[in-house]
Structure 1
Amino acid sequence: MVNITDSWFTVKQIDNKTFAISEFGHWEKVHSFLLIGEEKAVLIDTGLGIDNIQRITDQLTSLPIIVLTTHVHWDHIGSHGEFKNIYVHKDEEDWLINGIKKLPIEQIRKDVSRDITIPTPETFTPDTYKPFQGNPTGLLNDGDEIEIGSRKLTIYHTPGHSPGHISIFDNSKGYLFTGDLLYDETPIYAFFPTTNPVELVQSLEKISNIPNVTKIYGGHNTLGLDSVLLKEVKNAVKELREQDLVRFGTGIHKFKGFSVQF
């Protein structure tokens, strides 16, 4: 069992080749995930960028790392600049290169610096904080398969929270990594200009039909949700459509285990 004590990150070993790297000292409670194969490793998202997540991945593996970006929002691309191989869905290539659309830097700096409960590193300066921008190594599409040696990951395009949002299914373990499409405690966001309520509900329906899911790992809050939640998701999709709620301005809709805000 790996035991890493760190001043900013919390590391939890999910199994002998899978690790959650969490930032519980920030109100977002962001999770990134390291999946180790026999030939390569995959890092799903790189966190807030308040501190350098590479410090943790270097302690967990010496294999070459591929970064798979669930979506190009500041809280998931914070340490992208520390890695050579970065992949993003084709619909958010422009966001990664030219910046996140319709989100002012003033708002980002306000959000990254508020409600922090543990000391931040001296290198973190909110006033000059800027999300990563750069060219990706490659682009992802729906249905792509990533082989890392005795471990195959399937890419699902799941837009709604953002245009190029993806979910990632680990076929060998049954783990479904849902980024900001599905998590608990706080609402899933689909109420700001770059979101799409219709696409979000379509994406929720899409993941609810993925077979052999054993565990759900969202990008925020509780670490590891029971796969039975996908049944609740299926019911929620039906209810939202039948009640004509899938549109901007209808508010927060609560279901058993999760909620959505349009």
Structure 2
Amino acid sequence: MHIRDDWFTVERIDEDTFAISEYGHWENVHSYLLIGGRCAALIDTGIGISDISDVVKRITRLPIKVLTTHVHWDHIGSHGRFDDIYVHELEEEWLTDGIPGLPLEQIRRDVGRDISIPVPPSFDPDRYEPFRGKPTALVRDGDTLDLGGRALTFLHTPGHSPGHLCIYEEKRGYLFTADLIYKGTLYAFYPTTDPSRFVRSVEKVNGLPFVTRLLPGHLDLGLDRAFMADVGRACRQLAAAGLDRHGTGVHEFGSFQIYF
């Protein structure tokens, strides 16, 4: 299957798993579509510059369950195009009311800057509004979802945000890490973040029994368990030095940085 789209890039991970990416924006955001026997899961819905549901419909006609890794604007942009939305219980109010202390003007600046390809005619950064709405389901650590032949487990991995989730498909060894682990700058310096919990979350996923591939929320798609172990060692080093706290700055580790 080859999907052409002016904004999104669709890459096939396997026969029924797709990365839907926004390489024309500085965030390089990835959303993921997982096809099951009864329904499909869409892990995050991107920035909202273009409507991701149009791409999803070209891949599958199955009912879609949107699985929100965390309620930041670059991961919930097309939530309003879907009816069935899951979110961790600690971020329900963020989804309904917005993130306290985050000005709309700042979001609009970040949405509209450093775009390298043409945007859809309907997009206007000065009119951009982050999604707000009520989820249909709240999840907790360890909850599972069966798509029909595909079982997913929600892992509560706070630190980058209070209700951040990684999604684990143990049978295939896929770990969808969202903003916890990727090759770039890992952020836990905002007031709504928690560096010590971030470190514990990285340790938590490093303890999973079987991981063949990391599927992150940003930048490089080709990550494996060895990279996750590298991030784990870095976090342990920071914690041992007492640096897992706000205000200690950017810590460099070669192909990635951790910003506390």
> For the superposition of Structure 1 and Structure 2, which TM-score range results when normalised by the shorter chain?
over 0.9
Query: 2:158·2:198 contact (CA, 8 Å) conserved in 1?
Result: yes
- The root-mean-square deviation of aligned C-alpha atoms, in Å, is 0.9
Q: Using a 3 Å threshold, how does the CA distance of structure 1 residues 215 and 257 change in structure 2: closer, same or farther?
A: farther
**What residue ranges of structure 2 are gaps of 5+ in the alignment?**
none
TM-score normalised by L of structure 1: 0.97
Q: Is the 8 A contact 1:102 1:194 kept in 2?
A: no
Superposition pairs of residues 129-208 of structure 1, within 5 angstroms: 129-184=128-183, 186-208=184-206
- Amino acid in structure 1 at the alignment position of 2:63: P
AA matched with 1:80:
H
Structure 2 residue 108 is matched with structure 1 residue 101: no
Aligned equivalents of 1:94, 1:112: Cα separation in 2 = 22
Aligned to 2:239: 241
Structure 1: stretches of 5+ with no match in the other structure: none
Q: Secondary structure at the match of 1:246?
A: coil
> Whole-Å Cα distance in 1 between the matches of residues 254 and 213 of structure 2?
17
Output one character per residue of 1:10-50: Cα deviation in whole Å (capped at 9) or x when no partner.
00000000000000000000000000011110000000000
Q: Aligned partner of 1:230: which letter?
A: M
Q: Is the 8 A contact 2:181 2:231 kept in 1?
A: no
Determine the C-alpha separation between the residues in 2 that align with 1:72 and 1:116.
22
Q: Which residue of 2 aligns with 1:8?
A: 7
250-259 vs 130-139, which deviates more? 250-259
| Superposed displacement of residue 256, structure 1 | 4.8
Aligned to 1:82: 81
Structure 2 residue 227 is matched with structure 1 residue 229: yes
Work out the CA distance in 2 between the residues paired with 1:162 and 1:76: 13
Identity of aligned residues (%): 56
Name the counterpart of 2:28: 29
Aligned position for 1:59? 58
What's 1:253 paired with? 251
Q: What amino acid is aligned across from residue 85 of structure 1 in structure 2?
A: D
- Between the aligned partners of 1:68 and 1:191, the Cα distance in structure 2 is 25
| CA deviations over 1:218-262 (Å, ceiling 9, x no partner) | 100001301111221331222111111101111111225422100
Q: Give, as a single letter, the amino acid of the residue that structure 1 aligns with 2:168.
A: F
Question: How many residues end up aligned between the 2 structures?
Answer: 260
Amino acid of the residue matched to residue 130 of structure 1? E
Decide whether the 8 Å contact of 2:196 with 2:239 is kept in 1.
no
Q: Distance in 2 between matches of 1:144 and 1:81?
A: 24
| Shift >3 Å, 4+ stretches | none
**Aligned counterpart for 1:213 among listed residues 211, 214, 238:** 211
In 2, the alpha carbon distance for the partners of 1:72 and 1:14 equals 25
- 1:112 aligned residue: 111
2:119 partner amino acid = T
Q: Deviations over 1:205-228 (max 9, x none)?
A: 111111110000110000130111
Tell me how far apart the structure 1 counterparts of residues 154 and 122 of structure 2 sit (CA, whole Å). 34
Kept after mapping to 2: 8 A contact 1:143/1:154: yes
Could you tell me whether the CA contact under 8 Å between 1:27 and 1:116 is conserved in 2?
yes
Q: Distance in 2 between matches of 1:153 and 1:209?
A: 17
TM-score normalized by the length of structure 2? 0.98
**Aligned partner letter, 1:174:** G
